[in-house]
Amino acid sequence: MLSLADVRRYAWADEDPDLAWTVAVVRGRSADEVVRAYGGDPTDPPRTMAFREAVVSHEELGRSSWLLVHEDDGAVIVLENNGWFGTREAVAKQASAGGGHFMSVHWDLNANHQLLAAIDGELVTSFDPLLVEHQPEWLDDVVLDDESLHAVLLAVLAERTGVVAQRQWLTAEFRAYLARRRD
């Protein structure tokens, strides 16, 4: 069960009204496998990029996305600045295939939100936390409201994956791969 302290740890996520991103955590798969699942090519030499730089043109939005990839404690973490490839069911299924676990949270400036999870290539859940009528059982004790939703989503991500989202991810540099939508 999430505590108030768990949620407060991520208060920074609700302070920036311009923050639009997808954060995905994958366990049980290599970084190369995850990049491929997103539509990127891990054999391309990666660039090094900070979050604010990882944007595609307006024309490419939805067709391509920069993936900021890093690994921490056995997990592959993928950040997308105003991208949403990590909310696609096909990506989650492929990234979790073969015994992996995938979970992502997303929000954007148009008030779209998404929480998605897949295990071993099967979708477990995918919903907008502000619009869902029946949330998964494992969220029964979690209040999903507009007031601190971003902090709650990051707290849920940490509780379910063991990865603590960091504010410095927004300024740090990571390996960056360009992913292109395949469908």
Kindly report, residue by residue over 156-166, the tens digit of the pLDDT: 999 999 999 99
Average pLDDT, the chain: 93
Percent above pLDDT 90 for the chain = 80
Rounded to the nearest angstrom, the gap between the alpha carbon of residue 99 and the centroid of all alpha carbons in its chain is: 19
Q: Is 80 exceeded by the pLDDT of residue 136?
A: yes
Closest CA to 139 of 118, 120, 160: 160
How many domains are there within the chain?
A: 1
Mean pLDDT of 141-164: 89
179 or 2, which is more confident?
Answer: 179
pLDDT of residue 175: 98
What is the DSSP code (8-state) at residue 108? -
- What pTM does this model have? 0.95
Burial of 32 (0-12, 13-18, 19+ CB in 10 A): middle
Distance from C-alpha of 46 to C-alpha of 149, rounded to nearest angstrom: 33
Query: Structural domain of residue 50, as residue ranges?
Result: 4-180
